Amino acid sequence: MEPATQAIDAARLAPGLADPVHGAQSVFRAVLDAMARPGRIVAVPENVLAAAPPAPLGRAAASVLLTLCDIDTPLWLDRRTQAGAADYLRFHCGVPLAADPAAARFAMAVEADALPPLDAFDLGSDEYPDRSATLVVEVAGLAAGKSGGTALTLSGPGIAGSAALTVDRLPDGFQAQRTALAPLFPRGLDVVLTCGDRLAALPRTTRAEEI
Amino acid sequence: MSRQIFEMSNADPAALVAVRQRCAAAVAKAGMDELEEAWAALPERPAYVWLRRPETGLAMVRGRIGGTGAPFNLGEMTMTRAAVQIALPDGATVAGFGHVAGRNGRHAELAAALDAMVQHPAWRDAVERQVVTPLAERHRARKAAQAAAVASSKVEFFTMVRGD
């Protein structure tokens, strides 16, 4: 998939998960909880990372990628993440980098505006909807309820009635693009929003309305 | 001597690679007892953090008949790898990687730590003198002793051509 593999600059690597097995299990549980209860803000356990991740990755984003990515899941990175953290992710996960969003199983963007159109990613197939891409997007603010930023009202599986989530901020048109993908279910994209050491999920089944 | 090594530090990548290869080979072939002993005798053992804790896995060993034939898969062997990082006083870091046969995590850890140390002029001299050279010497002696022990049972086959 990757043509020539570039050498990793070992002198600039940061340590990854402090305890790879148990750390990855606890982060996996955090992601699972967030996915099962869309809009709920979950903190990744403290001290799962042995050291601060390289900029521009936040602790939650780095933990999620170290937990979920491996040699079988090509990863698409936006330009800033590519410049700062590509070696870190390649070393610790052995993950191949995908230049083409359509080839990626995971995508990481530190600026939501840096994302290509959502339908450029692999949406899975009707036979294998699980093979779609999962997007990890770092945002400046994440809060339950209403406050500054893009206020969303969420409903769907895993939510009793409705839930409120405020994201600072989603790029223009992001929500419209998610809505446009909804009729394709079971195909679709799952999104994990990260902010520092907290995360929330917007799985493909969650309907979100901007208010 | 130390000045010369210092100048070699990272200016000459080929020399640095050669030093690291010598170190990796000597450490990988050493027994744990002699390696621990040499490690404990080092004047300075810097603190290091894990980049990658020891992991045991399999590596495919490939061979070529006579060293020149087409490559073939000989079989898998167990090996353990580790990576450590030493923080330098000036804020920079140096990373060391260890790969050893077998499943001894401590062996891979020491290989990685020594690989990091040998890359830095502050420790290179001591590691070369007190670890790499003596370990390589003992390995040579062991090989020579074994070669001598089996040499007495060597049989030469000759094809006699009958001349009528």
Residue-wise pLDDT for A158-179, tens only, equals 999 999 999 988 887 888 899 9
Answer whether residue A63 shows pLDDT above 60: yes
Query: What is the pLDDT confidence band of residue B164, given thresholds at 50, 70 and 90?
Result: low
Residue B113, judged by CB atoms within 10 A of its CB (0-12, 13-18, 19+), counts as buried
The full set of domains in chain A, from first to last, is 17-210 (3.40.50.11310)
**Mean pLDDT taken over chain A:** 90
Answer whether residue A132 shows pLDDT above 70: yes
Beta carbons within 8 Å of B83's beta carbon, 6+ residues apart: A10, B50, B51, B52, B95, B96, B97, B98, B112
Answer whether residue B92 shows pLDDT above 90: no
Interface of A with B (CB under 8 A): 10-13, 15-16, 20, 50-51, 91-92
The b/e string for B124-148 (b: 16+ C-beta within 10 A; e otherwise) is: bebbbeebbebbbebbeeeeeeeee
State the average pLDDT over residues A24-45: 95
Rounded CA-CA distance A102/A131 in Å is: 11
Q: What is the pLDDT of residue A91?
A: 93
**Mean pLDDT taken over chain B:** 89
Query: What is the pLDDT confidence band of residue B156, given thresholds at 50, 70 and 90?
Result: confident
pLDDT tens-digit map of A191-209: 999 999 999 999 999 999 8
pLDDT tens-digit map of B71-81: 999 999 999 99
Residue type (1 letter), B153:
S
Instruction: Specify whether the CB–CB gap between A13 and A88 falls below 8 A.
Output: yes
More confident of the two residues B130 and B90: B130
Asked if B51 has any chain A CB less than 8 Å from its own CB, the reply is: yes
Q: Are strands A134-138 and A106-109 parallel, antiparallel or unpaired?
A: parallel
Q: What is the pLDDT of residue B157?
A: 80
Integer-rounded Cα radius of gyration of chain A: 16
Rounded CA-CA distance A160/A125 in Å is: 29
Q: What percent of chain A has pLDDT over 70?
A: 98
Looking at A162-176, B26-40, B59-73, B109-123, which range is the least confident one? A162-176
Q: What percent of chain A has pLDDT over 90?
A: 74
- Dihedral sign (CA B37, B39, B40, B43): positive
Question: What DSSP designation does B129 have?
Answer: I
Q: What is the pLDDT of residue B38?
A: 94
Which residue is associated with the tokens 């996915």? A35
The torsion angles phi and psi of A187, rounded to 5 degrees, stand at -70, 160
State the average pLDDT over residues A173-187: 90
Beta carbons within 8 Å of B57's beta carbon, 6+ residues apart: B78, B79, B80, B81
State the average pLDDT over residues A104-126: 91
State the average pLDDT over residues B82-95: 91
Angle at B85 between CA A196 and CA A44, to 5 degrees: 20
The torsion angles phi and psi of B21, rounded to 5 degrees, stand at -65, -45
B50 → closest Cβ in A11, A50, A91:
A50
Answer whether residue B112 shows pLDDT above 80: yes
Answer whether residue A81 shows pLDDT above 70: yes
Q: Please, how many CA atoms are within 13 Å of residue A167, restricted to the half-sphere of its CB?
A: 31
Q: What is the pLDDT of residue B6?
A: 43
Q: How far is A17 from chain B (nearest CA, A)?
A: 9
Q: Taking CB atoms and an 8 Å limit, are A50 and B49 in contact across chains?
A: yes
Q: Taking CB atoms and an 8 Å limit, are A91 and B50 in contact across chains?
A: no
| Residues of B in Cβ contact (< 8 Å) with A17 | none
Residue type (1 letter), B73:
N
Answer whether residue B143 shows pLDDT above 90: yes
